[in-house]
Amino acid sequence: MRAGRAALAVALIVLLTALTQTGGLALLLAMAIRRWLNRAAPPRAALLPLLFLAVHGAVSLAAVPLARLGGRVPLSCGIFADQGYAPHTRLTCLLNRHYATVTARQAIEDAAAALRNGGGARLYYLDAGFPFFDGFPMLPHLSHRGGNAVDFAIAWVDAAGRPAPSPSPIGYFAYAAPDAGAIASCPGSAGWRRWDLAALQPLFAGYRFDVAGTRRVVEALLATGAVRRIFVEPHLKHGLGLDDARLRFQGCRAARHDDHLHVEFR
């Protein structure tokens, strides 16, 4: 029994570290606090989850000033003030996946201001980076290890033609369908990471890809001058009518990029 609990604890620590970077440490601290409290009171199973949430919140708050020492700052979570951009889901902030370099955040703020002044589409980011350590993997991404990569949602419209955020709860996996006659990006040569997730697509049938809105988002980001490259599917680039050397295809061995824009800043 003890061996099973130990294995479960190790698995949870590894999982929380992979998802949030600091969650594994928070769980270890919560377990230590619970053990100390249980010496003076009867053990309570419900105590650990509550302690974990409290410790994780404290660690996340402490990460803000500490991350700045390493050149990373948190992106706006859209809670206390409207910066013109926001996470697609607040879960991104709760998991500490909303950190970026100072240069990246400034560029995002500039792009958001340009979109707001022009009455354009709103800027929604998905995953950015963790608060600490270059090279630390952010699953399931192959990159996002230096604080200079941020994913953004493409623009959508609902059944009534009104601008809408991605119909996917997490912003990923709702794919913009290629136009009729578009050449397939990876005919018969896709790697295992290139998920199609066809079974999910009927769930998003009430929405359609907003070409004009996504074009404004891409143009606003490129106009900041801080963008090194943007990964996007060839059919999406063609549909947007943009010809910029910074718009690139990520290749057939990586995930599709017609559900989001992967932006790397200088």
Q: Residue 240 maps to which CATH number? A: 3.30.1380.10
Cα separation, 24 vs 43, in Å, equals 22
Q: Are 101 and 126 in a shared domain?
A: yes
Pairwise pLDDT comparison (43 vs 26), residue with the higher score: 26
Query: Confidence band (pLDDT; 50, 70, 90) for 43?
Result: low
Among 69, 86, 102, the domain boundary falls at 69
- Give the Cβ contact number of residue 128 at 10 Å: 29
Tokens of 113: 């201001």
Q: Are 50 and 130 in a shared domain?
A: no
Question: What is the value of pTM for the model shown?
Answer: 0.89
Q: Are 64 and 81 in a shared domain?
A: no
Q: Are 88 and 53 in a shared domain?
A: no
Residue-wise pLDDT for 85-102, tens only, equals 999 999 999 999 999 999
pLDDT at 190: 66
Question: Is a pLDDT exceeding 70 seen at residue 188?
Answer: no
Q: Are 142 and 51 in a shared domain?
A: no
Q: Are 143 and 226 in a shared domain?
A: yes
Residue-wise pLDDT for 123-165, tens only, equals 999 999 999 988 898 888 878 899 999 999 999 999 888 888 8
Q: Are 54 and 86 in a shared domain?
A: no
Q: Are 65 and 167 in a shared domain?
A: no
Torsion of CA 103, 108, 114, 118, to 10 degrees: 170
Q: Is the dihedral of CA 185, 188, 193, 196 positive or negative?
A: positive
Q: Are 86 and 201 in a shared domain?
A: yes
List alpha helices for the chain, DSSP H. Answer: 2-20, 23-38, 47-69, 91-94, 102-117, 211-223, 234-240
Among 49, 69, 89, the domain boundary falls at 69
pLDDT at 6: 79
Nearest Cα to Cα of residue 222 among 242, 241, 250 = 242
Q: How many domains, the chain? A: 2
Domain span at residue 136? 73-265
Question: Is a pLDDT exceeding 60 seen at residue 229?
Answer: yes
Q: Are 162 and 42 in a shared domain?
A: no
Kindly provide the b/e burial profile for residues 42-69, where b requires at least 16 CB atoms within 10 angstroms of the residue's own CB: eeeeeebeebbeebbeebbeebeeebee
Q: Do 185 and 231 touch, CB atoms closer than 8 A?
A: no
Q: Are 61 and 121 in a shared domain?
A: no
Residue-wise pLDDT for 15-31, tens only, equals 999 999 999 999 999 99
pLDDT at 193: 74
Among 69, 104, 124, the domain boundary falls at 69
Q: Are 175 and 196 in a shared domain?
A: yes
Cα separation, 13 vs 7, in Å, equals 10
Give the range among 16-20, 34-38, 49-53, 160-164 with minimum mean pLDDT: 34-38
